[in-house]
Structures are given as C-alpha cells and as structure tokens.
C-alpha cells in the first residue's frame, strides 16, 4: 500500500461515472470538485462526450494520468472499473457506490473480491459505500456530500457519511476548520488505523477526530495508535456504547460489536481521548487544535461574576485539573491591583465593575504564577466591559505567556464578534463554564498520554512446548474445556500453584498427602462436574491419616451424582492459609475486535455483586498490569487496609503479566479463569483454573 | 408576609434613589422601568425635581401610593427608607444596595435589623445586594441588569446577579422566554423556598429554574418544594458541588456550605431536577416548558442518518428511558411504507434519500405505537429534505398525538429557520443527539417525581420521656458522648438490642449471664475508652462459668491501660449469631443546612473502603427508608445473594425509620452511629452505639 498522502493531494482526480443528470451522485461529485479544487478534474463515462463542460473520457486508459479516482458507477461494474484503473497506474480509489457487504451475501462476496483486487495491485481504496473524501489546502471536495469545510488543522474520519454531512454545516457556522475529511464507508481496505497512521505523520494535522461504530483490528489499532498519540491527539466518538446503541450500530453498518468494556480499555490503552457526544468531540478538538500544552494542572479562574466563577470552579473539581494555589507574591500583587471588594484568591473575582484593564491585570498576574498551568476567563456582560477589547487582551496575554487560556464570555449576540476574534487566535470560547473547563481538561489528559512510556510487555522465561502439550489435552474432551487437572499449564508459565497432584487411587492419594506439610484439600477432578462443592466433591483440611477414606468418599459421591461422568481422579493439594490472604480472580476472554481481554478483581461478592473489576487488552506490560490492580475500588484491601498485612501485590501484577503472555502466545485459549488466585503476604497461588480451548486454532499454532 | 404576586405585578413602582446621573444604578433601574413597563413609575429622591423627565418626589409619603419600591440608596439610609415605605403602606421592596452581610460585621448587623424591620411590618423584601426583579407580562424590568427577556413560561431565580446577566442575553438569542426573574441577593427575608411556593401556584409559570449557592432552611425547602413539584417542575443548578466549588461559593456569597451529599439527598427528596451546568439547566427547562408528559418510557427514534441514529440510541441507553419495542403492527406498517433498504426496527432509519413525506409517515406510524411514549427526530441535511417542511410536519404530528417529540436537525445556518418554527410550537431542537435525549429524559424523570406519593414519616409508639432521661446522662460527661451503656435509648425507640445489661460487679455479671441463653459477649464500658477491643476490653463467647473471672480480667486490663478512666462497668450481652447475619451501619449527622442526614451501609469494608452508602434527610417514611437499603451496591447481599438466607430487610427499614423519628424528636443528638446493626434472617439487632449530644440544646427540648 502506497502512502495515503496522495489520496488527499492528487494532481488529477477522475470521476468514474461522471454525469450531468440532475440529482445523480456522479454529478454532485463533479460539481463539488469543480468548486475550488486546484488540480485537474477528469470525467469518465463512455456514454458522454462532455460533462458539465469538461471533456469526458470513455475509460481511464484513454484519459490523462489519474492520481485519484472516485467511483460512482453501479455495483456490478465497480470491480471492472478498479481493474482498469489499476492497469492504467491509478493507485488511489474512493468507491462511493453502495451495494457491498452492507446488503447481504452477494454484496459481501463482491467486497471480498474488491479486497483481493486491492491486495493484488497494492491499491489504496476508501469505501465502498463512502460519501467521499475532502482536503482543504488544495480545495478538494471529492464527495457527494456538503460544501467543503473551512480550512483548519483537524483531520476527520467517520464511519457514517451522514455524520459528516450533519457536522460540517454546523462546523462552518462555528468557525471550525478541517485539514482532511474521509468517509470510511465499509472499510473494505483502508480503515481507521490507516488514517491514524497517515495523519500521525502529517505536519498539517494537529488533531485527529473520528466517529466510529467499530474498530476493524483492535490489536493493530492499539499498536499503531499509541505511537501516534505520543505526538498527535486523537479524539473519537465510538458509538454503540450502550446495549441499545450496539444493537443499532450493528444494524446500521453491520459492525460486529465487541464488548463496550473492550473498547473502553482498548481506546484508553491506545491513548485515544474518547468523547461521549458530538459536542464533546468538538469541545475537545477546538482546545487541542489551538492551544499549547499546560505545564501543570493548576487552573486560574479570572472572572467579573461570582456565580459563574463558582460554576467554573465546580467544573475544575470534576476534571483532572485543580484550582491553582497562588503563591504569596501572586496574592500580594492581586491585592495591590484589585479593589478591596475583589476576591484575590483563586477564583479571582474582579467584581462586576471590572473593565478590560482590570481583567487584563488579573490575568497577567495569574499567568505569571508558577502554579498556574492554564486559565479560564469567565465573564458576564456589563456596561463597563467591551467583549471585543477583552478578547484582544486575552489573546495578547495568552501569546505572551505561552499558557493555554480558554474563555467563557457569557452572552448571546454581544459575544459573537469577540468569539470570532478569539477563534482566529486559536482560543476557544464556550458559553458554558463547564464546557470551557472540559477543553482544558482535554489538554491535560493529552499531556498525561504523551508522557506515558510505551508499556512494553515483559517476556518471561516460560515452557511454551509444555503448555502446548497441556492445551492439546482439550482435543480429547467433548466440550474443549480444561480444569483444575491442568494447573500444570500455569506452572509452565511460572504462575505459582500449591503443591500436590492428581491421583487416581486412594493409596497414592495418601502418599502424596504425606509429602505435603500439614493438612490437604481434596477435590474431585471430572470434566463433567463443575460445581464440585455442591455434590460433596471437595474436602478441606484433611489429615494424612484420613486421606484414604476421604478419597473413596469423594469418588463415591461423584459417581452417585453423575454415574456416567469421567472421573479423572482426585486432586490432592496443599492447604493454603486463606485467613491472612485475599482471594482474587484473574481471567481472560476473547473479544471479537480486540482479542484477549484480561480481567482482574477480588473474589466472591466483589466480582459478582459489586462488579468491581478492571480490564485490559493483552499483551500488556507492568504498568498496565499494576493499573489493573490499582483501579479496582477494593484495592486498599490488598494493600493492607483495616489492619491487615499487605498482600504480595507485585506477585499479583506478575501473574497478570504472565497470563497476558500465555493468552498472547496461544490464541487457541478462548477463555480462562484463575479463580481464586490467592494473594497472601508472602506470595500468590493459583488455586483453581478453568479454560476453554479452540482445538482447531490449536492445530495451527506453530511453536 | 403578604402574597408575593404583588412583587411581580404592581401598578406602581417607586425607585428610591432615582437619578439621571450617567452610570448610576438609580438611573439604570429607572431607564429599564421606563422601557416597556405598563404601570406607573415613580422616582424618589429629595434632591431632584424631575428624573429622566418624570416628576420626582422627596419621599414616599409625598408620592402616590406605591405597590413596589426598588431601593438604590447608600447602605446607611436603606433601613430608614424601608421604614418610611412601610409607614406609607408599601409592602413589597427590592433592595439593590450592597454592603450588608457580604461585607463584614457592620453589614451583618444592618442585615439583621433589616430582617427585624421586615418581620415587624410584614414586608416582602428581596435582597439586599440584588440585581432586581423582572416580569415579562407587564413589561417590568425593575433591575439594573440587562434588557428584559422574551416572554415565556419559565420563572427564574438566582443567588448570583451576574448569572442572570450572563444568561438572559444568551437566552434571548436562543429564543428562550421567561415569566418572572428574581435576583435573590443576600436572601435576608425572601429566599428560594418563598419563590418556589409563589411560582408553584402561579398558573403562568410552567417551569421554575434557579441558580443557588446554598439553601437557607433545608427542612422547609424539602417540605414545601415536594408539594410544588407534584405540579410544577423545578430545575436547579446548585453550585459548590465540589470541594473547590464549595470554597469558592462561600467566599462569593458567604454561603455556609452544607455537605454536597446532604444537598444531593435534599434536592432529590424535594423532587428537584438538578442540572450540572448552565446548558443542562436550559436543555431541561426547554423540554419541560413546552412538551406534554410521556405516557411510557419507550422512545422512538426516526432518522435519515445511521450514525446519528446510533448516537441517539446510545443517549437513550444512558438515560432513564428505553428504546421502544415496536408492536408487530408498527413493524408491518413501516415495512409497507419504507423502502427495502430502510431499517424498520427502532431506531427507524428512513435512509439518506428520505423526503419530508417519508419522515412524516415514519413518525406517524411510530407515534401511533402504544409502546412509544416520546420520539426524537434526528436528521442530517440532504438535498431532498427541507428542514422547514420537516419542522412543520413534526409540529403537526406532535400536536395530533399529544406525545412529546424533540428534534435534532443537525446543521448550522440551514437549521435556523426550522429551529425557530419548532421553538414557537414548543418543540426544542438540539444540535447534539445526546442533548435532545436529555430533554426527554427530564420529562420522564419529572413524571416519576409527580407520581411519587408524599413519603409521610410513620409515627411509632415510643417512650420519649425515657429517651430524654437517657440523653440527659450526657450532661455528666465531659465530651457529651454516650456509648454502649446507653443502648436503652434504642430500646426506648423500639430498636431491638440484644438481651443483657451493664453490671458493676463480677457476681452480678454471672447472674445476668445465667439468665441469657448460651454464651455471652462482655465489653468494658468507659466513656474514655473507645477502642475497646484493642486493649482487651472485649470477650466474645464467654460461658456462664467463666464470666466472673472474665469480668475481673477485663476491668484489670482497662485500669492498666488508662488508670484514670471512669469504669462504668462491664456490659454482658447475648451472643448474636453473626455467621448467618450481615453487619450494617445506620447513622446520622447534622448538616448545617438540611439538619439530620441519615446514612446506611453495610459494615466494615463496604463503608470504609468501597464507600457504598446511601443518605437521606430525616424525617423520612417507609419509601425513602427502603430506598436507602435498595440503592447501595451491596444490597443483593441483604436479599440473599450467593445462596445466603435473606436478611430481615423490613427490620432494617423499620430501624431506619425509628432512628429518623428519634433524631427528629431530639435535635440535641448531634451525631449517632448504630454500628453494627446486625441483620439476620429472623430480625435485626443493634449491637453497639455511639452518639454525641448537644446538652445546651437538650435543655431547651420540651417534651
């Protein structure tokens, strides 16, 4: 696949299926291109001599060299058109035509062929079922959508064409400009990850925004995006957040819903700022595209209006920022400069009779404070204050201090001119104090993302071949499930398990128990019996002398409960002291988009009732594994709350990392639960295990 | 205090301190009144003959009869001016003048005198330190603030004058109109509860909105507001939600911050819809002022744009509403009416080429479905769709079906005319689908509030005199604290406690133990020793024969630990079976604004680590008490999760109600904790108790 930049900056664009028939898509695209594109536009249509006054070509072979082709022909001749383009040397294609995978099996087959064609000829294909693409620097609107937006530094992708149409008209009214815009359509070839990669290296793009209904390849997305977000902020609306929304998304674009928790984790690990609404998307984008990064989290609030000042302060309290603690010098300077009735502590209330000079002075003093990393100027309209002058003052102060400043000049018509001036200087103005602060919050959250180190997974020394052999046991099971009898899988990956083994006669049971210090736990091992305790299949704290009888009793109960069950034997296990320990759960299930989703939580009620769990997409390194432990509500219990001895948190973190390595090494493991993983002061031990193996996948796994 | 309606609809308004000096407040008020007020305006100023062309009077005595006076004179002559007004028969006064409690002790004294004066003459006083008041039907702008807003059915109060200034200009641009507007100022006399009461009976007010930094009398507010909200929706921004915001609010208006949790509970119990931002305040108000109530929670989404349709569906998932499940008839009718590519399941995607007729048909069919209680029309701009026509169609359908409909006609300039038409028909249009849904959500939440029964507290048969005597014991304690030795306080209010008593010699200890079935628990009782277990002051499961020795041991340990401690004795208590029971905590502390704040949670880690608690303002009835139990995350544990026997939840609920009665009967109880209240399958028992008593308050409590 060639560089995508040619998609957005071609010298020549062909419209395949160009026509001057009113209302036709092929006409709309041509008109949009004629309206401002600074390159050459080539209509292609065998049944026309000219279209809209331009010379029309029968086919691409007869046309001048074409760098980008936009295809708007019936679905059954799309593939042929693309083949012709490829043969004529055109590498960049936008397929507007619908009637592919979104319409059923025939369309899906057509889309598969289109994908093959792209691979064969190394083509960049956008769509099919796309509204088109736009780029403002060269004036190109290669879409049948709305008018070209204003020029700006935001690049924008959307899985919904209507979303682009809906947003651009509004954005123009708001003075928000764009660099490139792409309607992703069915994403047969190029998807979100490709455009993230492209815009990540585009010096003209300051912010990438997008509307997505799914992510095609979650692993590739995380891998590439987390590199891009070290430089370029990405803000996405990922819809289908709720069950109802996911259902609607799947009927809209046929998106296969991964779980919302997987998206949440995956987007977070990728360094994406996630917006929950269209408004939030643009509130974040406006701040990120025009303002420098804050040095510290302290915010100064400068206002002439007490109430709105308090609202702003509340919004700061809701954000990841904090109200800056002014230095004594700042307080002294403000006391000197402001009238007696003013509040010189943050928020600075310059009171209702503040004019532009007093506002400017307060802002100047605040921005000079080393504890101030950003500022919000909040104003109610008054007779003594010109919003236009205030805008100019804020612009000047912001530039002098290289500090991000947002404004909230409250008011209707009277704020419009000032808003425009501010916008042109890259300062977003918001009517609502809460939204102004959310803009600064986005800047601070992006700084945190940039400062992250890439969380490289550690590669532990493990016995992969042994694990492979253990997993292969699942092939002899009807349900592809493995249980406690396969604890040696964990041993192979260095996850501690209690001493013991599975035995199949009572005398051997006694021998094994004798080798273990103290009493033992005995559990029936049978793939068909999952609720072992309920049928009397578990005995805890059995003394060596009682092991023989206990063995016979357990087996008898199991046979009695389910006569046809396969009895593998009885597990004899070291009795782990649960008194001083905490039961945790470490698990994994595979998400259709993102792959292995790791889960951590405390056992029992915490997972089942409080639903206090954390998740990550594997593979992860130590930072994310530690994050999983830290972010559960009950984390203090592990760290020794309420007079308990702290558990071996490092051991838990390492176990999560080793499990990450295991499930990454073996895509055949569909789901796996270590429940419980007991975490005591001196270490962790996996007490029980269940997993499901895809045996077909297993056969393809090369070691 | 007379009816407040005269404040907003006077025949004659006097401006005390009227002047034609440029920039003076007394001039601004007069100008605002001259601009449109349909009553008589009377300037009062002893040093002028005329002001702005009107005859000016020396004092109110010489002026014509004045129904409302607006005072803008220096602070030191405000009281005299009011006294003159009262003597001349003026009952309604707005004090614009600042320099009262917001400025220090002299001002606070002046404000106290103003309050006395109001009481003496039965005056309605707004302010001091108010921007003024407005009413649109008579064109009255009795403020020095911005221009009079548009006429509408929203009445608006604000504790911040600047908030009014900031909002009205914007609201006019947005086409949002108001009935009455009041700047509350320092609330020396009239406060939020007075205006809630007034507007609750005003047939012209459809919605009350407000910006508050505190609530003066939380108990009165809840009591009166919950009656009003059975008819009239109230939406409030209460700022100072966060710690930073609360600090800012207290430096702004001197508001004494009650706790945010108390406000949250108090506003909820009062039936107030709480907005978190200015935008949310008006998003809710617009829906509540123009639309009927939904019959059911099912929402129909009708769109021409897949992506925005999915976003709308997500927003419904976030709200208290749900995507309506269409009947078979609806599906059949839509299948008939829509093209093949359309999605006829909810959200209805009429696809991109939908014209107004298709939109109208889809909406018509959806609104006829009995499962649909409200609808959102979401549209992206297209070539075949006129937003103006779509607006007309939506207006017609909404009116025919008496069902609330909101719109999200996405776009900038091209949506403006349609938006205006919709607004005039009472239909709010929002750019963002999430905001459109939040409007419908407000309607549904208000319906739930209206449908609530008033939660009358039950009056249990209790021994109040006995409780009074027990509380009086605190007078003999240095720290005013009572502990486990006062468990009889709970008995007096019918809260079950284990059998047993406090004894002061070992022989008696043995006698008491002998009367109790099974083993006993023994605890040192000493006001100075709070961590009894830590010093060996507690013994659990003592057999009757061992009680004598255990007594001596416990007392010896206590004396050894703290030789000067007062040893009241040792408590001998029935051993409660904790195995099958759940430990809960029921407590109370007093909030400065709202009074007794009840708290409920499960014991130990749930309260201390997970912070899983619920709160209410006492007094409460059964519904709120049950709500406290139901809303904690761990509630399923009480109801028998994970194979446990369900606890006596009714017993817990009754205990909460009895505690509510106790702390309401005795304002002298400053804080109280029953920890634990053990809830088993057969009942509840309070095992331990701590409380603090305000002994001064106690003396004033009459029985």
pLDDT tens digits, one per residue of A24-81: 999 999 999 999 999 999 999 999 999 999 999 999 889 889 999 999 999 999 999 9
Minimum Cα–Cα distance from A278: chain B residue: B432
Task: Name chain A contacts of B244, Cβ cutoff 8 Å.
Answer: 313-314, 316-317, 322-323
Bridge-partner residues for A212, per DSSP?
A: A238
Q: Is B482 helix (H, G, I), strand (E, B) or coil?
A: strand
Task: Name chain A contacts of B174, Cβ cutoff 8 Å.
Answer: 412
Q: Locate the domains of chain A by residue range.
A: 292-451, 499-574, 582-700
Rounded to whole angstroms, how far apart are CA atoms A307 and B164? 9
Task: Name chain B contacts of A251, Cβ cutoff 8 Å.
Answer: 343, 345, 349
At residue A535, the pLDDT reads 84
Cα separation values, A94 from A16, B144, B175, Å: 10, 60, 43
Mean pLDDT of B38-55: 95
Q: Please say whether the dihedral angle defined by the alpha carbons of residues A336, A337, A342 and A347, taken in this order, is positive or negative.
A: negative
Nearest Cβ partner of A610 from B161, B343, B633? B633
Q: Is A540 helix (H, G, I), strand (E, B) or coil?
A: strand
CATH of A582-700, one of 3.10.580.10, 3.30.470.20, 3.30.2270.10, 3.40.220.10: 3.30.470.20
Contact flag B634-A162 (C-beta cutoff 8 Å) = no
Enumerate residues 639 to 698 of chain B having a beta carbon within 8 A of any beta carbon in chain A: 641-642
Minimum Cα–Cα distance from B381: chain A residue: A166
Rounded to whole angstroms, how far apart are CA atoms B604 and B623? 26
Contact flag A431-B170 (C-beta cutoff 8 Å) = yes
Number of H helices, E strands in chain B: 25, 30
Which residue intervals of B73-104 are DSSP H helices? 78-87
A22, exposed or middle or buried, with CB in 10 Å at 0-12, 13-18, 19+?
exposed
Q: Tell me which residue of A380, A379, A436, A446 sits closest to A405, measured CA to CA.
A: A436
- Hey, how many other C-beta atoms are within 10 angstroms of the C-beta on B563? 7
Q: Is A534 on the interface with B (CB under 8 A)?
A: no
At residue A453, the pLDDT reads 86
Rounded to whole angstroms, how far apart are CA atoms B517 and B574? 7
Instruction: Count CA within 13 A, CB hemisphere, residue A528.
Output: 11
B135, exposed or middle or buried, with CB in 10 Å at 0-12, 13-18, 19+?
buried
Q: Does residue B278 register a pLDDT over 90?
A: yes
At residue A192, the pLDDT reads 97
Interhelix angle for A356-368 vs A387-401, to 10°?
A: 20
* β-pairing verdict for A582-591 and A569-574: unpaired
Enumerate residues 79 to 98 of chain A having a beta carbon within 8 A of any beta carbon in chain B: none
* β-pairing verdict for A595-602 and A669-680: unpaired
Answer whether A210's CB lies under 8 Å from A234's CB. Answer: yes
Chain A nearest-CA distance from B242, in A, is 5
Instruction: Count CA within 13 A, CB hemisphere, residue B694.
Output: 13
Task: Name chain B contacts of A381, Cβ cutoff 8 Å.
Answer: 146, 165-166, 169
Minimum Cα–Cα distance from B28: chain A residue: A383
Q: Is A451 helix (H, G, I), strand (E, B) or coil?
A: helix
Q: Is A457 on the interface with B (CB under 8 A)?
A: no
**Residue B128 preceded by cis peptide, ω within 30:** yes
Phi-psi region at A42: left, alpha or beta (left = phi > 0; alpha = psi -120 to 50): beta
At residue A1, the pLDDT reads 45
At residue A4, the pLDDT reads 87
Q: Which residue of B158, B300, B314 to mutate against A (max A Cβ within 10 Å)?
A: B314
Q: Is B320 on the interface with A (CB under 8 A)?
A: no
Task: Name chain A contacts of B304, Cβ cutoff 8 Å.
Answer: 162
Rounded to whole angstroms, how far apart are CA atoms B548 and B542? 10
Rounded to whole angstroms, how far apart are CA atoms B526 and B568? 5
Rounded to whole angstroms, how far apart are CA atoms B408 and B628? 37
Contact flag A347-B248 (C-beta cutoff 8 Å) = yes
Q: Which residue of B145, B306, B633, B634 to mutate against A (max A Cβ within 10 Å)?
A: B306
Interface pTM (ipTM) of the complex? 0.91
Q: Please say whether the dihedral angle defined by the alpha carbons of residues A341, A347, A348 and A352, taken in this order, is positive or negative.
A: negative
| Banded pLDDT at B308 (limits 50, 70, 90) | very high
Q: Is B343 on the interface with A (CB under 8 A)?
A: yes
Q: What is the 3-state secondary structure (H, E, C) of A457-497?
A: CCCCCCCHHHHHHHHHHHHHCCCCEECHHHCHHHHHCCCCC
Contact flag B317-A243 (C-beta cutoff 8 Å) = yes
Contact flag A642-B161 (C-beta cutoff 8 Å) = no
Ranges of residues in chain A with a pLDDT under 70 are: 1-3, 252-258, 701-703
pTM greater than the 0.90 cutoff: yes
Rounded to whole angstroms, how far apart are CA atoms B310 and B441? 17
Mean pLDDT of B134-142: 97
Fold matches, A499-574 and A582-700: no
Mean pLDDT of all residues belonging to chain B: 92
Q: Tell me which residue of B234, B126, B97, B163 sits closest to A310, measured CA to CA.
A: B163
Q: Does residue B252 register a pLDDT over 70?
A: no
Mean pLDDT of B474-495: 88
Chain A nearest-CA distance from B240, in A, is 6
Q: Tell me which residue of B168, B176, B175 sits closest to B132, measured CA to CA.
A: B168
- Hey, how many other C-beta atoms are within 10 angstroms of the C-beta on A335? 11
Q: Tell me which residue of B306, B378, B368, B288 sits closest to B333, measured CA to CA.
A: B368
- Residue B421 CA, distance from chain mean position: 34
Instruction: Count CA within 13 A, CB hemisphere, residue B377.
Output: 33
Give the H or E element holding residue B538: strand B538-542
- Hey, how many other C-beta atoms are within 10 angstroms of the C-beta on B382? 19
Mean pLDDT of B27-53: 95
* β-pairing verdict for A234-238 and A273-274: parallel
Chain B nearest-CA distance from A353, in A, is 11
- Which class is domain A292-451? alpha beta
Rounded to whole angstroms, how far apart are CA atoms B375 and B404? 7
Chain A nearest-CA distance from B587, in A, is 20
Q: Please say whether the dihedral angle defined by the alpha carbons of residues A116, A118, A119 and A121, taken in this order, is positive or negative.
A: positive
| Banded pLDDT at B257 (limits 50, 70, 90) | low
Task: Tell me the fold of A499-574.
Answer: Dna Ligase; domain 1 (3.30.1490)
Nearest Cβ partner of A609 from B277, B415, B636? B636
pLDDT digits (tens, 9 = 90+) for B326-359: 999 999 999 999 999 899 999 999 998 899 999 9
At residue A506, the pLDDT reads 92
Interhelix angle for A649-665 vs A464-472, to 10°?
A: 70
Cα separation values, A414 from A286, B23, B166, Å: 21, 20, 11
**CATH code of the domain occupying B499-575:** 3.30.1490.20
Nearest Cβ partner of B158 from A248, A307, A633? A307
| Banded pLDDT at B240 (limits 50, 70, 90) | confident
Q: Tell me which residue of A677, A678, A659, A679 sits closest to A669, measured CA to CA.
A: A659
Q: What is the 3-state secondary structure (H, E, C) of A178-245?
A: EEEEEECCCCCCCCHHHHHHHHHCCCCCCEEEEEECCCCCHHHHHHHHHHHCCCCCEEEEECCCCHHH
Percentage of chain B exceeding pLDDT 70: 98
Q: Does residue B696 register a pLDDT over 90?
A: no
At residue B1, the pLDDT reads 45
Q: Is A410 on the interface with B (CB under 8 A)?
A: yes
């Amino acid at each position: 696949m060639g560089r995508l930049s040619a998609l957005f900056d071609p010298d020549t664009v062909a419209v395949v299926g160009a026509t001057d028939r009113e209302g036709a898509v092929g006409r709309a695209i041509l008109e949009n291109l004629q309206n401002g594109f600074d390159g050459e536009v080539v209509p292609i249509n065998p049944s026309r001599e000219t279209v809209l006054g331009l010379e029309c070509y029968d086919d691409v072979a007869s046309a001048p060299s074409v760098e980008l082709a936009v295809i708007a022909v019936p679905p059954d001749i799309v593939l042929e058109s693309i083949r012709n383009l490829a043969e004529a040397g055109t590498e960049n294609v936008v397929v507007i035509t619908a009637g592919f995978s979104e319409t059923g099996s025939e369309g899906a087959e057509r889309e598969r062929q289109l994908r093959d064609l792209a691979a064969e000829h190394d083509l960049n294909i956008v769509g099919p079922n796309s509204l088109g693409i736009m780029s403002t620097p060269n004036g190109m609107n290669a879409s049948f959508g709305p008018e070209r937006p204003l020029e700006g530094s935001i690049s924008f992708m959307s899985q919904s064409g209507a979303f682009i149409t809906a947003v651009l008209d509004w954005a123009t009214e708001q003075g928000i400009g764009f660099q490139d815009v792409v309607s992703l359509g069915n994403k047969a070839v190029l998807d979100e990850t490709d455009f993230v990669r492209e815009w990540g290296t585009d010096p003209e793009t300051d912010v990438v925004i997008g509307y997505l209904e799914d992510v095609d390849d979650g692993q590739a997305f995380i891998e590439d995006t987390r590199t891009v977000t070290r430089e370029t902020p990405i803000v996405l609306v990922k819809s289908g957040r709720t069950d109802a929304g996911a259902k609607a998304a799947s009927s809209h674009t046929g998106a296969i819903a991964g779980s919302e928790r997987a998206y949440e984790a995956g987007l977070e690990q990728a360094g994406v700022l996630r917006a929950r609404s269209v408004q939030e998307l643009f509130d974040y984008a406006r701040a990120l595209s025009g303002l420098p990064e804050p040095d510290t989290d302290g915010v100064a609030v400068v206002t002439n209006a007490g109430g709105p000042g308090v609202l702003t302060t509340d919004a700061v309290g809701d954000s990841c920022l904090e109200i800056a603690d002014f230095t004594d010098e700042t307080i002294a300077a403000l006391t000197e400069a402001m009238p007696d009735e003013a509040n010189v502590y943050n928020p600075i209330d310059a009171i209702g009779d503040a004019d532009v000079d007093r506002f400017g002075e307060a802002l100047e003093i605040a921005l000079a404070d080393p504890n101030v990393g950003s500022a919000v100027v909040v104003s109610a309209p008054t007779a003594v204050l010109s919003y236009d002058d205030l805008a100019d003052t804020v612009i000047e102060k912001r530039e002098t201090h290289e500090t991000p400043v947002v404004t909230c000049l409250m008011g209707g018509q009277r704020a419009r001119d000032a808003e425009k001036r501010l916008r042109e200087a890259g300062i977003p103005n918001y009517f609502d104090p809460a939204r102004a602060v959310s803009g600064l919050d986005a800047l601070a959250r992006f700084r945190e993302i940039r400062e992250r180190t890439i969380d490289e997974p550690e590669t532990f020394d493990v016995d992969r071949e042994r694990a492979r052999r253990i997993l292969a046991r699942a092939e002899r099971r009807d349900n592809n499930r493995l249980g406690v009898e396969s604890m040696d899988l964990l041993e192979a990956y260095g996850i501690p398990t209690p001493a013991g083994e599975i035995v199949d006669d009572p005398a051997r049971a006694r021998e094994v128990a004798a080798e273990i210090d103290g009493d033992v736990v005995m559990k029936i091992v049978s793939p068909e019996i999952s609720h072992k305790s309920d049928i009397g299949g578990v005995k805890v704290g059995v003394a060596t002398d009682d092991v023989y009888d206990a063995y016979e009793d357990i087996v008898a109960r199991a046979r009695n409960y389910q006569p046809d069950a396969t009895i593998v034997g009885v597990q004899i296990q070291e009795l782990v002291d649960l008194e001083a320990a905490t039961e945790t759960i470490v698990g994994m299930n595979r998400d259709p988009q993102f792959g292995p989703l790791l889960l951590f939580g405390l056992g029992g009620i915490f997972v089942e009732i409080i639903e206090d769990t954390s998740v990550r997409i594997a593979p992860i390194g130590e930072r994310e594994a530690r994050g999983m432990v830290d972010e559960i509500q009950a984390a203090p219990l592990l760290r020794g709350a309420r007079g308990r001895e702290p558990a071996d948190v490092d051991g838990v973190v390492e176990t999560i990392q080793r499990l990450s390595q295991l499930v990454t090494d073996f895509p055949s493991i569909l789901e796996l639960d270590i429940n419980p993983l007991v975490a005591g002061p001196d270490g962790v031990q996996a007490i029980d295990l269940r997993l499901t193996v895809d045996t077909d996948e297993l056969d393809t796994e090369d070691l």
